[in-house]
């Protein structure tokens, strides 16, 4: 059986995603679609609009055959670590190719990776600018392009991970269609996830219905609460105020001394918007900060995260009959553990961070996110 892999968030699953997975099967001739999907928090550290089980079911109902959860320590990370963690799982799942959207699929991303290796450390001397900014300056000088668009950045990261880790995957970038990644308004049948989430907030049901499959629409219109950091902020604020600075300093990605600044501002700001605006500096992007805030609420230490990175696993969220057949075909070849049901033993072991993230997400939903949840089984009509 020939499998194609997808790396997704599906926040939420929409018509653009449907086009992507259909195109993936078309260009690769694959029999099976395997999706590695972020859990309940996105790469930017934001809670997803629907939980991972709702999003997995929408994927299975619309053409995906196997949904594996991307562990938190890869899902809530910058592009390079996000890509490496996802490809690691897809390679272990024995997929032959990975298809992803890009703003400029014709670019030679492989060549960009080679160019980065040729850049010398002394070419990055501007300490008031990020590595990404200086790297783009070097690219512009060498080949006349810059990695600015989010999907191009991810495409570069997939190539880099595939080369550096020798996964041997066939990478297939395809042209993104419809609206731009950051568009805030729905303008047709293919809209950005950001625009759809914005329309959910504004209760623009007719626009939403045009841009998403029916099952996603039904979930969105019955949504009682839109998850956001506004609701999580009291937990973050309490942790920052109450926890000793020595404990906060051990938090994953906590820069030296930043815990003091966070604690001081948290004591003064009662809203998340006010808090993050005061914390934001040129040194830290909003995405970096929200990721850090999530790890702070989860009380995730550097040691704990690094241990999780070195102990990957496949948490199976759901499958179709074809997906089940494929899983049976490759199961004995898997290098990493396959988790089909989380029990009391697992949530204290390697799965602990994802378990804690699931419990945190239950602020937004009454549904248990992990303990004793079995994979979704979908029969394709």
Binding site for ATP: residue ranges? 7-20, 101, 151, 176
**Measured distance CA(15)–CA(217) in Å, rounded:** 11
Residues forming the annotated binding site? 7-20, 101, 151, 176
Within 10 angstroms of residue 335's Cβ, the number of other Cβ atoms is 9
**Measured distance CA(62)–CA(22) in Å, rounded:** 9
**Measured distance CA(103)–CA(111) in Å, rounded:** 17
Q: Whose CA is closest to 165, among 42, 80, 79?
A: 80
CA distances from 294 to 18, 40, 45, 239, 307 (A): 30, 12, 6, 11, 18
SS (H, E, C) the chain: CCEEEEEECCCCCCHHHHHHHHHHHHHHCCCEEEEEEECCECCCCCECCCCHHHHHHHHHHCCCCEEEEECHHHHCCCHHHHHHHHHHHHHHCCCCEEEEEECCCCCCHHHHHHHHHHCCHHHCCCCCCCHHHHHHHHHHHHHCCCCCCHHHHHHHHHHHHHHHCCCCCEEEEEECCCCCCCCCCCCCCCCCHHHHHHHHHCCCHHHHHHHCCHHHHHHHHCCCCCCCHHHHHHHHHHHHHHCCHHHHCCECCCCCCHHHHHHHHHHHCCCHHHHHHHHCECCECHHHHHHHHHHHHCCCEHHHHHHHHCCCCEEEEEEEHHHHHHHHHHHHHCCCCEECCECCCHHHCCCHHHHHHHHHHCCCCCCCCCECCCCEEECCC
Give residue 82's Cα distance to chain centre: 7
């Amino acid at each position: 059986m020939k499998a194609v892999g997808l790396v997704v968030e599906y926040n939420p699953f929409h018509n653009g995603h449907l086009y992507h997975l259909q195109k993936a099967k078309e260009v690769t001739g694959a029999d099976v679609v395997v999706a590695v999907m972020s859990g309940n928090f996105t790469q930017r550290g934001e809670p997803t609009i629907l939980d991972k089980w709702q999003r997995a079911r929408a994927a299975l109902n619309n053409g995906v055959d196997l949904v594996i959860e991307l562990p938190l320590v890869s899902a809530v990370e910058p592009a390079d670590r996000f890509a490496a963690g996802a490809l690691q799982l897809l390679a272990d799942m024995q997929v032959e190719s990975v298809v992803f959207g890009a703003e400029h699929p014709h670019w030679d991303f492989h060549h960009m990776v080679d160019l980065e290796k040729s850049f010398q450390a002394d070419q990055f001397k501007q300490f008031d600018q990020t590595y990404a900014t200086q790297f783009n300056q070097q690219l512009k000088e060498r080949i006349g392009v810059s990695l600015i668009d989010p999907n191009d950045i991810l495409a570069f990261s997939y190539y880099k991970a595939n080369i550096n880790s020798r996964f041997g995957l066939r990478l297939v970038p395809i042209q993104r269609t419809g609206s731009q990644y950051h568009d805030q308004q729905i303008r047709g049948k293919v809209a950005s996830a950001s625009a759809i989430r914005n329309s959910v907030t504004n209760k623009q049901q007719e626009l939403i219905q045009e841009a998403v499959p029916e099952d996603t629409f039904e979930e969105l219109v019955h949504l009682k609460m839109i998850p956001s950091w506004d609701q999580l902020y009291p937990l973050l604020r309490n942790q920052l105020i109450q926890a000793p600075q020595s404990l906060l300093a051990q938090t994953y990605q906590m820069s030296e001394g930043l815990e003091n600044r966070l604690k001081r501002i948290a004591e003064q700001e009662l809203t998340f918007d006010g808090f993050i605006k005061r914390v934001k500096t040129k040194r830290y992007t909003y995405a970096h900060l929200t990721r850090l805030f999530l790890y702070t609420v989860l009380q995730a230490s550097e040691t704990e995260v690094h241990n999780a990175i070195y102990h990957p696993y496949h948490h199976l969220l759901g499958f179709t009959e074809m997906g089940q057949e494929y899983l049976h075909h490759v199961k004995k070849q898997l290098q990493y553990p396959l988790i089909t049901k989380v029990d009391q033993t697992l949530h204290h072991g390697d799965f602990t961070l994802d378990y804690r993230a699931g419990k945190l997400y239950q602020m937004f939903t009454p549904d248990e996110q992990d303990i004793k949840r079995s994979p979704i089984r979908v029969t394709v009509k």
